[in-house]
Amino acid sequence: MATLSIFANIKITEPKKIEAFVDALESSIADPMPPSNSPKKIVLSDPAKIREILAKRKENG
């Protein structure tokens, strides 16, 4: 299973590599996800607004 691949024993013996690994973990915790540059999607659920938009599309062809 794909989820099992994240559960692995990690053995790091060199002190500099241990520090780099811990630094990477700490930085991922501090800033877990970069901000998205894409605009947020708006879901339109009001039937009257949907009819209005579809009517405009039909008029404009």
State which amino acid sits at residue 55: A
This prediction has a pTM of 0.40
Report the distance separating Cα 28 and Cα 5, nearest Å.
19
Per-residue pLDDT tens over the stretch 27-53: 888 776 767 777 778 888 999 999 999
Closest-CA residue to 42 (of 53, 56, 33, 55): 53
Residue 57's pLDDT band, with cuts at 50, 70 and 90, is: confident
